[in-house]
Structure 1
């Protein structure tokens, strides 16, 4: 069945003006000011009435199999479900392991990604976890990228964090080299997605590798860069040198009280420092644990990241006075570009039919993923296989 969205204010993510969008399944057939069809009875017509149509959001870090465990067995967070993403307008996401690569395995991650893809999303994976040596499925980073269709990089390997493996610059450089070659051979991003903790060294190791080896700074994609003012400023310097940094949208009151910079404030600060927003993305860290540690490094509390925080951050940025066209790439095209997800993060005849139709006050009305309507009038039309409706 053909679907025609008529008279939408299309943000692709750049503003195209009022347009009609015609698509069939995952394929966008035509975008034009007016599309006249002779056999309208064969077409599902959606009247947008001038409301914004944006690309489906791209989330470069979600723990789809859950995470956590820093406070013991009972603190393992649950798996993500289909509607956790779809109701939040997220149609493309990249899955990762974190601290726990013992009770959460790469086998489980890849299979869960395929399950969510079957249910309607587009889900990719990083091989590895916080740990070094990097755990892989085939026994080799390069082979994982070349032989496994939904594995697109390495992550989220941890630096500047007491939960990481305290790896050295030569060790991380070898990881990056293997991922780089795997990306080249497979046509994938081959990015090393880096978890940056609150350790004093920050991202110094990434600059050291770029200066002392043939690995460019752009091979690394560091996240949680709004963790503190000091780390934020390091991140902006990383961006000035051509790298792309990622801010985390899931947070809690204690994190903010301890110095984490709210995403809205971090983006405004980046703008004030002359940083091009094409060098910044946002991720939800959905279903990750948000552990709180005391001065002795003991876990004294835990909360969970939410995929929905990505769309909430977009709305907060708009409410802070920034234009939709300026901030939309932060949650769509920027991550897609870095990760080489060429059919994601935009609206064009070369992109998949991943759309979010907004209401006039920036709530979610409808969500299409690969042309399938998952959400209508803000309610789920499709649920995950084992979700309670």
Structure 2
């Protein structure tokens, strides 16, 4: 069956709002290492990894073996009403890695569920439905997470279970303060935070939820140290800080294991998902015990932390630690960033190169006025695909190319990708 035929079947039974890449969408049917093959036999170097989910790559023996070993027991699922050894072992590991004192862990099935759980914990703990979030943010497609998403392209409803106010600072490239030095930029954003609390809330705010690097928002981020400065203000009011590490966790940024660590602050809670399972569905929250234990009713997760997903996740963490993939992300990320900046010197359409480690973005603009250019962005994404490279897209205006390959990426593969991207930009001339 061709991709076109499969797409017709997709359109007949799937919702119109289910986003697909490319004018002619593709089906990925197999993979190995950092490469995948589609249903028509075309092979690609994968620089988006299932939206940062296949963090180690494809067909990893250690992960597959861990899953097969669990399947061989005949138990794929029991639910959290029973003890699950793999869940406990994984929670112990994540609690240790989190840096949060006296940490406890709750497992769910996705980043959306993880962020919903964190919002529930914070609002219950603080007895307040008031929440602060960042402009240009994305935290999921649930009722509460859509409410704290500060990006109109992904916020489908104005209805909300929480009272949300949005704060400046995370998307610096188009900020009115973009030209300020880092220290002054942080100061004006902190002043804005205090002003938002003083003028738009009743003071008893539950939490601020942040992404250290905004994922869907186009891999944008503030200067390091902003969230530490924010926390000083939050602590004055007793407001909790939640770090959404769904895309930035597990060493992907290269310099730290968790993205928020770049700001020199320990949050009250962190959420995680995506790369932890290397393709298996898992998410969760790690938080200080007093926050995690603050629910006043029974709860559970039917599928969260099941034996299969936690076996895969434990093998994934062991693999990335044993192979020091955080260091590899730093090296290959620096190589890729240098290549992208070289392209930006040749092509003014590449207005901004940003990100950390193997979480990099290229914002595409119209050279005459620096305005967003989503049409050229879509063209470049198609051109790279036609040359054998899969990359993502995002940003507030749909004009950002997102690159987040598996953290096992090699030097040769990075060079190959840079050349494909340069060749794709050459089609603009």
Give the TM-score normalised by the residue count of structure 2: 0.29
Give the TM-score normalised by the residue count of structure 1: 0.31
Structure ID, larger Rg: 2
Judging by fraction of residues, say which structure has more strand: 1
